[in-house]
Structure 1
């Protein structure tokens, strides 16, 4: 603390105020950002811990909770529908995510080239599906993949001498319909991300490659892909997690039928919680999904680090 010398040659200690200007500024900053952390704690952190707690209890949402130990996990692991939901989730994730990322990369490369005109128009048009109402998307795709012989997709298949498909109940037809919906909705989002990454690559590299006689594929392989590696890893990481949490598209497309051909892991826990009033088994399935996502994320991270080296 600062000291001063008085007239009587005695030392007097001056007390500094507790709330200095620096502390006031810091406190003001924390107050401004506190609403986010409060809401994040209430609506994100607390539900996660409560789900872990609820996974070991039997509860219908209204009555008292009853501790049952690992019984909820045993019930869902013995349920064939749960394993069906896992396989459906991984199949539709692969069908909807992998083609989506490839097409998004190609579209971004085309929009970044000097050949395409009206680039701003195409950029907005490609991103529009991402902001379109999912209900409207489901109505449109429900019309395309209707079970009627006069449905758009069945009419297209008839030109190739393929019999009409019952898209609402066929094992692979239903997966194709939902995967196509996911593809159409998210390909524009990844295209914009790839485009932003490509625009950060210096154009001088491409010009030097052209002077050296590099073909278009060689430019993509030796310039675009290496420099786009962090962006590609990000999109693969985010898309993988999003595909494992697939919920809205199959729910709107299937309705409340919850057919086993198209049920996903999130739809399974939704059915357990809000249709069967079994919040314990729903939380147990959510916990298993949580660890599956963690395992897949760690694998993605390890692969990404390996590719980065």
Structure 2
């Protein structure tokens, strides 16, 4: 092959390399067109309600006459600072959240560890662990309300068998919080256990083999291999549980018949979600309810920011 023939043979290759410099406009816009429906729906059902609620929180608005609004400025927010029922609902939310979340995540971790073992009928046990999550909130709460009944409930019957006095689970200040927290604990433990179980499957088995060769027992392997591999799952479930605790609504609403949004005769288990519902749909003060909704969001943001700040400080201290 002569030099001229080789040069002519290389010309199409060079031209083909230079040609795809600019793609057609249609191919460049295709990805944006595919994701556009999500952003349109998110703007319509996510951003717009947030913005509308924020704007409504600066007005005095009655549910029966939403068009007759009056500008109130920051009055609705300032009112929350001096509202004893708001602080009561906040303390109840924190206490019920702690009573439900901490044991829930610990139990879920133990259940996941058991489900990870090679047992017969593992699929059945995994489905059974998820069954409480699939149960209706109303059905589960009504069953637990009967379970904690003062006169004919099974819990007080069991206490009587061992010689203890019955407990008024629906009216006691601490007993009612524990009872509501137990409903949340029962419903969400299996769900979190399956998340941990899936995360355990991503831990490389070589780490367990290396730890076993180093003489680490089952507990040390779980503490030094499994738990570090579960950090993303632990962070996710902790964040979701915190959000769920702030939004807790169905369980305390249905726990006691006749209590409604008040959360008991003395508001002993009224959560922020119940208090928001009471302000907006019982007392008909939409402006106050909107301010409370944004206060709940700001509390969550502040809580997550504080956790991130503490973790960042620990990381810098470890260096």
Equivalent positions of 1:212-223 (< 5 A) are 212-223=214-225
Say what the alpha-carbon RMSD is for the aligned residues.
Answer: 2.0
Local SS of the residue matching 2:62? coil
Local SS of the residue matching 1:166? coil
The answer as to whether partners of 1:72 and 1:281 remain within 8 angstroms in 2 is yes
Q: Distance in 1 between matches of 2:40 and 2:121?
A: 45
Q: Distance in 1 between matches of 2:308 and 2:73?
A: 33
Give 1:56 deviation, angstroms: 1.3
The answer as to whether partners of 1:103 and 1:187 remain within 8 angstroms in 2 is yes
> Could you say which residue in structure 1 is the equivalent of 2:172?
170
**1:57-88 deviations in Å (ceiling 9; x for gaps):** 10013241100122212323222111100000
Question: Which residue, 106, 110, 120 being the options, matches 1:106?
Answer: 110
Q: Distance in 2 between matches of 1:306 and 1:191?
A: 30
Q: Distance in 2 between matches of 1:159 and 1:35?
A: 60
> Could you say which residue in structure 2 is the equivalent of 1:127?
130
> Structure 1 residues 254 and 42, CA, compared in 2 at 3 Å: closer, same or farther?
farther
Local SS of the residue matching 1:93? helix
Question: Which residue, 188, 198, 201 being the options, matches 1:199?
Answer: 201
Question: Which residue, 96, 103, 122 being the options, matches 2:100?
Answer: 96
> Structure 1 residues 304 and 112, CA, compared in 2 at 3 Å: closer, same or farther?
farther
Q: Distance in 2 between matches of 1:125 and 1:289?
A: 34
> Structure 1 residues 68 and 137, CA, compared in 2 at 3 Å: closer, same or farther?
same
The answer as to whether partners of 1:233 and 1:304 remain within 8 angstroms in 2 is no
> Could you say which residue in structure 2 is the equivalent of 1:53?
55
> Could you say which residue in structure 1 is the equivalent of 2:229?
227
Q: Distance in 2 between matches of 1:182 and 1:50?
A: 31
> Could you say which residue in structure 2 is the equivalent of 1:72?
76
Question: TM-score scaled to structure 1, two decimals?
Answer: 0.86
> Structure 1 residues 38 and 58, CA, compared in 2 at 3 Å: closer, same or farther?
same
Q: Distance in 1 between matches of 2:50 and 2:110?
A: 38
Unpaired segments ≥5 residues, structure 2: 1-21
**1:39-65 deviations in Å (ceiling 9; x for gaps):** 222222111112211111100132411
Give 1:305 deviation, angstroms: 4.7
Q: How many residues align?
A: 288
Unpaired segments ≥5 residues, structure 1: 1-19
| 1:301 and 2:308 aligned | yes
Give 1:21 deviation, angstroms: 7.6
> Could you say which residue in structure 2 is the equivalent of 1:277?
284
Q: Distance in 1 between matches of 2:261 and 2:292?
A: 20
Question: TM-score scaled to structure 2, two decimals?
Answer: 0.84
Q: Distance in 2 between matches of 1:307 and 1:147?
A: 47
The answer as to whether partners of 1:59 and 1:279 remain within 8 angstroms in 2 is yes
> Could you say which residue in structure 1 is the equivalent of 2:274?
267
> Structure 1 residues 254 and 31, CA, compared in 2 at 3 Å: closer, same or farther?
farther
